[in-house]
A = this chain, B = another copy of it.
């Protein structure tokens, strides 16, 4: 009976001691477990099993299950960013760019529902973790840049109405993705292609905000 680690021919390391790259191997198996069993079915011991190490090995690299999930969530943010960047690749027109980014966001939720859920979970994640915060900020900036381009002000930071438009956009694509995954949109018979149409409203609003004072018109009731 073969006991060797035959994951992807990990390398010339028959001994499990000093694996060499156990952290990365654990993250890889953790992504598999997450995709297969979901966030609820995720267990540390299963990750260790797939990495070919003992059940207590992950503790040394990630502390506890929260540490491993937090590292996974940070990777999830990076996957989300990659999905948005891939969707907008080669598109010059700012409006088309924003539409593509929205589609990329929803596509990420559709293709990696478990990672989407984990990434935006507010339990079991260490929100003080620098890597997680950095990844979340980078995802935020991807959207912010797109809005700035639509508004025609690529350099200045967003304020006032344009900041509200950014929050509007993010809430829209995020809520749409979440409702889609939770099956609630079945009530409406709405498919995921609709996100492009929904973004039209926000795009029109960004144009209005940009043309009418932009940075100052924030005295409506905030």
Contact = CB atoms under 8 A, between A and B. Distances in A.
Interface of A: 38-40, 113, 117, 120-124, 127, 136-137, 140, 163-168, 170-179, 181-185, 187-188, 190, 193-194, 196-198, 200-202, 205, 220-222
Contacts of A188: 140, 163, 166-167
Contacts of A120: 178-179, 182, 184
Contacts of A127: 183
Contacts of A183: 122, 127
A163 B175 CA distance: 16
Tell me the number of copies of this protein: 2
A136 B222 contact: no
Report the 7 A-B pairs with minimum CB-CB distance, sorted nearest first: A175-B175, A171-B175, A174-B175, A171-B176, A140-B187, A122-B182, A120-B182
21 contacts: A40-B123, A40-B124, A120-B178, A120-B184, A127-B183, A137-B187, A140-B188, A167-B198, A168-B198, A168-B201, A170-B175, A171-B171, A171-B172, A171-B173, A171-B175, A171-B198, A172-B172, A175-B175, A175-B177, A197-B222, A201-B205
